[in-house]
Chain A
Amino acid sequence: MELLGLPLTQLATIFAVAGGAVVVLYILKLRRRRVLVPFTRLWDRVLADRPTSSLFSKLKRLLSLLIQLALLALIVAALGDPRPAGAARSGRSLVVLVDGSASMKAVDVLHGRSHAAREALRRLVREMGPADRMLVAQMDAEVTALSPMTDDPAALESAVSAYAPRDTGLDFARALRFAQDATRGNPSPEVVVIGDGAFGEARDSDGEVRLQGAPLRFVPVGVRGRNVAITAFAVRRYPLDKSRYEVLVELRSFSDRPEEVELTLSADGAPIEVTRVTLPPGGSSQRVLPDLSGASQQMEARIAFAGGGHDDLPADDRAYATLPERRRARVLVSTPGNRYLEAALLLDEYLDVVQVPPAEAAARLRSARFDVAIFDGPAVAVPTGVGAIYLRPEGADLPVEADAGFVNATAGSAIGFTRVDRHHPLMRFTNDLDETHIGRIVRYRPRPEDRVLGQSAQGPLLIAGERGGDRFVLLSFDVRESDLPLLISWPVLLVNAIDWFAGEDPAYLSSFRTGETWRIPVPAGLDRATVETPSGRRVSVPVVEGRAAYFGTEAGFHRVHAGEQHSVVAGNLSDLGESRCAPQHTLTLSGQRATAPVAGRAGVRREWWPYLLLVALLVIAIEWATYHRRVTV
């Protein structure tokens, strides 16, 4: 026999203390009740044989003490959770990985794959041997342990109830690494995988995952995978006409026969486009819906079979996207007159442009509130909260220092963009920038923390940076001394800069992908934000570098509450691996094919504590009965 509960020393201590207390209580002189009688002499007749009855009484009290000690011993023994010798070691240590990815939301079996997985899990619990222990974990993009390694049926049933597939892909390698860690050090380990088998390759940065010494069992779930999915859904405003936008939808069929689906596009819940798309077996179709207009912000695409009904995986039949909110930016242009600049600013109708001569710039900046100041030539200091665009600036209040004089282009040394930082948001859609020819430049010296976005052999051409929390962009040449205004990049560059200042990220994502960490822009100065999921769950998330970091697990619109600002972001499954939901009935890992789980030895659990407590209860009942029958008093 061995103890799985409290150790023997602890049990002995408990018994010694509690038993000592019981004995002391029995040793204490009994406080007898006082009863008046009319004539004690008469009692002397029956008490004449008192030695005998007194001895018997003492024996009865001793019997009562022994019963109390026996009760205590039974309860203390139950605390120790005694088991037959070797019972614990001979059992298996089962780690059950239940597929919780989006493909388990398929409804190709009665009540869905998730229900089938739950039933399979319950069956495994029922078939556990008396000494088996089990740990249940859900695997999707993460691995979540739903129970400890236990043989407690209640805890395991609770784990079964807690299992719920999510709108994410599956990181099988990560799940296997988890199983490897969980089985380490446990006797007779086994890893059981319950799922549709569409797990992909079990490989991560450390290479292929191998389960060392732990047999792999597999319980397949699912029967077929007739599915058409929205694999891409994106929406964007036109950079130069932000009142209009275009939508990209990509459909893919994972069916083995031609499928005709009806695609419905909705804006803020109202359908704006309904089309029918026919997909060949395994084929895909990409649709771009251009020149859409409206103030809508929440876009949704939905597909259904043209003949009615849904495919086997409804989870990828809907996709969501959001459009960035547009707001008007107030722009002060300090210029002696620049038609190229004025023309470029006219392209964005969401700009309120105020143009002043350079001499009045400082006064206007003091008297009115602006989001952006553009200095064409002479520059002045800008108030806090105002972004600045400098076009070959001059003056004392420049963000960078400049060398005196100009660097001119010569016949053997043309000036142009030799290197462009394409990763910066300012540089989106400026692909023709390197075709620019420049007559002369001023050589500015950026600080180490500044970023040179465009470089020529003669010096920096385009610098971006921050001063006191306010952003600036600096061009080191006069656009009129270049052919930049003739290129599309010129107005795009200006609009990108203004958007960058206004917090409108040109790299705005209309939707995030589930199973990844979303970095959602929020106002500066916040430590935490709250994300409200489509299911109504509220999650407090940290804010890092102006972005709320949230691990998305649900598809749909999420509300983000950051201080006073409330915004909406969209999450989509967008996982080909999950949409390809046809089940695999075999699982092979490192060349080894997984086998079906083996039931544990049948029989009752060899736990003694319930019986010990039953005996204790029985003893209490006997004691109660004898007390009330006045046998032991």
Chain B
Amino acid sequence: MGWLDRLRGTKRAEAPASTELFDEEFQRRLDYLAVVSRRLFAGRMRAERKTKKSGSGIEFADHRDYVPGDDLRYLDWALYGRTGRLLLKLFEEEEDLAIYILLDCSRSMGFGRPSKFDHARRLAAALAYVGLTNLDRVGIVAFSSTVSARLPPGRGRGRIFKVFEFLRSLQPSGETAIAEAARSFAAENKRRGVAILLSDLYDPAGFERGINAVRYQRFEPMVVQLVDPREADPGERGDLTLEDVETGDKREVTLSPDLVARYRAAHASWREEIAGFCKNRQVPFVAADVNGAFEDQVLELFRRTGVVG
């Protein structure tokens, strides 16, 4: 029996029936992920994060020159006695890390079986669980062309069921506009932190704008691109009308093996462009295959960043 079962305890009757998205098997895998992540990042996966602020902290960090208006209680009188300089003692202040999971809920995410949206929701649940386990504040923001739903940041492992409930309630709809959604998100969340973007990045305005919008709002972005390899080949041949699942745009094509090969190459090139873009801007990036194991993809993200925790 996993810890979730034990936690449920008497609330079992009230808890919603386990869905296929977050069933017991999924929860067991979350347990495993929590243990492994802790072992991998021992000593670093703590809930605290130290910031150099004067005041409330207890651990000395540094000095800086006194400027009028500073709290005289933090003057280092001993050093003034030795050097004759008025220096202010700085202490490392501990603060919670805020983790924002930006989940793309546009219609393109619901494309395919299994859908990218389901996989993204599992990833979001896993990330949230790891964050909550490490006592971070975890919030989830669902967006398409704008923020459509949000789960306010909170902490504590018990919050994971709210996360599940929130994720279950989401449905893919609307068009993708990451930049607009990021701006709206930033306006609503003054506290900066890590913003993990879970999206297929099928943004008509360009994926660059979306990622930059997160960066420019002084969040620390991480990008997880949901990838379905079958999207690189529609599987049909002949005279077709290709219709965009989000915008309804149509393209009339005669799909030959040669054209499909070229499209496959263009798709791969586009993915490389995203990876290159993130690398150049030191944005951690993971391509999450919908057919892959979400735990591996979460751990891969941790390896790339080492930020969480």
**Taking beta carbons and an 8 Å cutoff, which residues of A are in contact with B?**
30, 32-47, 53-54, 57, 60, 630-631, 633
Contacts of A53 in B (CB 8 A): 254, 259
- Kindly list 12 other residue pairs between chains A and B, CB separation below 8 angstroms, not including A33-B238, A38-B111: A32-B240, A33-B236, A33-B240, A34-B240, A37-B244, A37-B245, A38-B112, A38-B245, A39-B108, A40-B247, A47-B251, A57-B254
Asked if B251 and A633 sit within 8 Å, CB to CB, the answer is: no
Question: Smallest CB–CB gap between A62 and chain B, Å?
Answer: 13
Please give me the 10 A-B residue pairs with the lowest Cβ-Cβ distance, nearest first: A39-B202, A40-B244, A38-B108, A57-B254, A38-B111, A633-B238, A32-B241, A46-B262, A45-B266, A32-B239
Contacts of A39 in B (CB 8 A): 108, 200, 202, 231, 244, 246
Question: Smallest CB–CB gap between A323 and chain B, Å?
Answer: 87
Using a CB-CB cutoff of 8 Å, which residues 164-192 of chain B contact chain A? none
Asked if A630 and B237 sit within 8 Å, CB to CB, the answer is: yes
Which B residue sits closest to A36, measured CB to CB?
B245
Asked if B267 and A630 sit within 8 Å, CB to CB, the answer is: no
Contacts of A630 in B (CB 8 A): 237-238, 256-257
A45 to B259, CA, bound (A): 11
Question: Smallest CB–CB gap between A625 and chain B, Å?
Answer: 14
A60 to B239, CA, bound (A): 12
Interface status of B270 (Cβ within 8 A of chain A): yes
**Taking beta carbons and an 8 Å cutoff, which residues of B are in contact with A?**
108, 111-112, 200, 202, 204, 231, 234, 236-247, 249-254, 256-257, 259, 262-263, 266-267, 270
Asked if A32 and B244 sit within 8 Å, CB to CB, the answer is: no
Contacts of B254 in A (CB 8 A): 53-54, 57, 60, 633
Contacts of A40 in B (CB 8 A): 242-244, 247, 249-251
Which A residue sits closest to B236, measured CB to CB?
A35
A630 to B245, CA, bound (A): 26
Can you name 30 A-B residue pairings with CB atoms under 8 Å? Answer: A32-B239, A32-B240, A33-B236, A33-B241, A34-B241, A34-B243, A35-B241, A36-B111, A36-B242, A36-B243, A37-B234, A37-B242, A37-B244, A38-B112, A38-B200, A38-B202, A40-B242, A40-B243, A40-B244, A41-B244, A43-B242, A43-B263, A44-B251, A45-B270, A54-B254, A57-B254, A57-B256, A630-B237, A633-B239, A633-B254
In this complex, the member of A30, A40, A630 whose beta carbon has the largest number of chain B beta carbons within 10 angstroms is A40
Asked if B234 and A35 sit within 8 Å, CB to CB, the answer is: yes
Question: Smallest CB–CB gap between B178 and chain A, Å?
Answer: 13
A560 to B231, CA, bound (A): 87
Question: Smallest CB–CB gap between A51 and chain B, Å?
Answer: 13
Contacts of A47 in B (CB 8 A): 251, 253
Which A residue sits closest to B235, measured CB to CB?
A35
Asked if A43 and B253 sit within 8 Å, CB to CB, the answer is: yes
Contacts of B238 in A (CB 8 A): 33, 630, 633
Asked if B252 and A32 sit within 8 Å, CB to CB, the answer is: yes
Question: Smallest CB–CB gap between A109 and chain B, Å?
Answer: 69
Asked if A33 and B256 sit within 8 Å, CB to CB, the answer is: no
Which B residue sits closest to A33, measured CB to CB?
B240
Contacts of A34 in B (CB 8 A): 240-241, 243
A40 to B249, CA, bound (A): 7
Which B residue sits closest to A39, measured CB to CB?
B202
Asked if A633 and B237 sit within 8 Å, CB to CB, the answer is: yes
Asked if B241 and A46 sit within 8 Å, CB to CB, the answer is: no
Contacts of A46 in B (CB 8 A): 259, 262-263, 266
Which A residue sits closest to B248, measured CB to CB?
A40
A443 to B237, CA, bound (A): 113
Question: Smallest CB–CB gap between A562 and chain B, Å?
Answer: 74
A371 to B98, CA, bound (A): 136
Which B residue sits closest to A632, measured CB to CB?
B256
A40 to B263, CA, bound (A): 11
Which A residue sits closest to B254, measured CB to CB?
A57
Contacts of A36 in B (CB 8 A): 111, 242-243, 245
A32 to B108, CA, bound (A): 22
A38 to B226, CA, bound (A): 12
Contacts of B202 in A (CB 8 A): 38-39, 41-42
Question: Smallest CB–CB gap between B198 and chain A, Å?
Answer: 15
Q: A37-B244, A39-B108, A46-B262 are in contact. Are A30 and B251 (CB under 8 A)?
A: no
Q: A35-B234, A37-B245 are in contact. Are A42 and B267 (CB under 8 A)?
A: yes
Asked if B256 and A633 sit within 8 Å, CB to CB, the answer is: yes
Q: A47-B251, A53-B259, A633-B254 are in contact. Are A42 and B270 (CB under 8 A)?
A: yes
Asked if B242 and A35 sit within 8 Å, CB to CB, the answer is: yes
A38 to B290, CA, bound (A): 15
Contacts of B253 in A (CB 8 A): 43, 47
A89 to B268, CA, bound (A): 71
Asked if A35 and B256 sit within 8 Å, CB to CB, the answer is: no
In this complex, the member of B202, B247, B251, B270 whose beta carbon has the largest number of chain A beta carbons within 10 angstroms is B251
In this complex, the member of A33, A37, A60 whose beta carbon has the largest number of chain B beta carbons within 10 angstroms is A37
Asked if B241 and A38 sit within 8 Å, CB to CB, the answer is: no
A36 to B241, CA, bound (A): 8
Which A residue sits closest to B228, measured CB to CB?
A38
Which B residue sits closest to A54, measured CB to CB?
B254
Contacts of B112 in A (CB 8 A): 38
Question: Smallest CB–CB gap between B235 and chain A, Å?
Answer: 8
Which A residue sits closest to B244, measured CB to CB?
A40
Asked if A41 and B243 sit within 8 Å, CB to CB, the answer is: no
Which B residue sits closest to A49, measured CB to CB?
B262
Q: A40-B249, A53-B259, A633-B237 are in contact. Are A35 and B200 (CB under 8 A)?
A: no
Which B residue sits closest to A41, measured CB to CB?
B204
Question: Smallest CB–CB gap between B24 and chain A, Å?
Answer: 31
Contacts of A30 in B (CB 8 A): 239
Asked if A43 and B251 sit within 8 Å, CB to CB, the answer is: yes
Q: A42-B266, A45-B266, A47-B251 are in contact. Are A35 and B243 (CB under 8 A)?
A: yes
